[in-house]
Amino acid sequence: MSTIADRTAGTRIVIRAEDVWKSYDDGAITVLRGVNFEACQGQAVALCGPSGCGKSTLLHLVGGLDEPDRGRVVVNGVELNRRRDMVQFLRHEVGFVFQLHNLIPDLTLEENCLLPAQAAGVDRRAARERLMHLAERTGLQHRLTQRIQKLSGGERQRTALCRALMNRPRILLADEPTGSLDERTTATVFDLLLDLARSEGVTLLMATHDLALARACDRVVTMHDGRIHEPQPVLS
């Protein structure tokens, strides 16, 4: 029987979790109980499972926002615990899109998106060019000078997507990125997310409760009892 690993043979593994454990409240709540997981360069992986099963926790560990109690998280070939340059990692290698956009409401779309580029020391002209490209791809080119508080929910999520991709990360972590949107806007934002991730060769790991969105990804993995379960691919 062919496995996911066979089907993606020759493709670089960019995310690897090895026997990852994570608990909260001094061990009172154990959320991850030996998670093993791999994602290859350019794959779009949906992370599903019931509320509270640990999807966000796993995204945080992969994104370097938190540390496992036990086990290893290796991203782009380097174990996160051993990295001395976490700021560089967060600025350049990984992008985040959350359910609530986390944009600064008083700043304009443009100002919000340029912030990560400025923090990373990207040349202002190059940053603006990058923003123009992303704004065109997401249909936001006419909204650049608008304050976030004046944008619709879908426009805010599209802005969050642009901001996450500004510094050309190789990995995009999305936590219920359409969770606060209506059905039609969800479809628009998700299509853009997947389309941009694919065209930029970004590995997408997306936590979602929306099975229709999950099925549009390259792989669906489900969390249950603190571990990951992945259906074997059906052979044609």
Ligand X SMILES: Nc1ncnc2c1ncn2[C@@H]1O[C@H](COP(=O)(O)OP(=O)(O)OP(=O)(O)O)[C@@H](O)[C@H]1O
Give the interface with ligand X as residue ranges (CB under 6 A): 24-25, 29, 31, 49, 51-57, 207
Q: Smallest distance, Å, CB 128 to ligand X?
A: 35
Place of tokens 């020759």: 10
CB of residue 90 vs ligand X: minimum separation in angstroms?
18
Closest CB 205 distance from ligand X, rounded Å: 12
Residue 192, number of CB atoms within 10 A of its CB = 20
Q: How far is the CB of 149 from ligand X (least distance, A)?
A: 25
The nearer residue to ligand X, 29 or 212, going by C-beta atoms, is: 29
Nearer to ligand X, 128 or 227 (CB): 227
DSSP 51-65: TTSSHHHHHHHHTTS
Buried b (16+ CB within 10 A) or exposed e, 102-132: ebeeeebbbbbbbbbbeeeebeeeebbebbe
Our CB check for ligand X shows the closer of 31 and 172 to be 31
Minimal distance, residue 52 CB to ligand X, in Å: 4
Q: The tokens 């619709």 sit on which residue?
A: 152
Burial 79-96 (b: 16+ CB within 10 A, else e): ebeeeeeeeebbbbbbbb
9 vs 29, beta carbon nearer ligand X: 29
| Residue in the block written with tokens 């990360």 | 169
Q: Determine contact, residues 147/157, Cβ cutoff 8 Å.
A: no
Of 55 and 101, the one with the shorter C-beta distance to ligand X is 55
Nearer to ligand X (CB atom), residue 54 or residue 116: 54
Smallest distance from ligand X to CB 126, Å: 35
Region label for 225, one of left (φ > 0), alpha (ψ between -120 and 50) or beta (otherwise): left
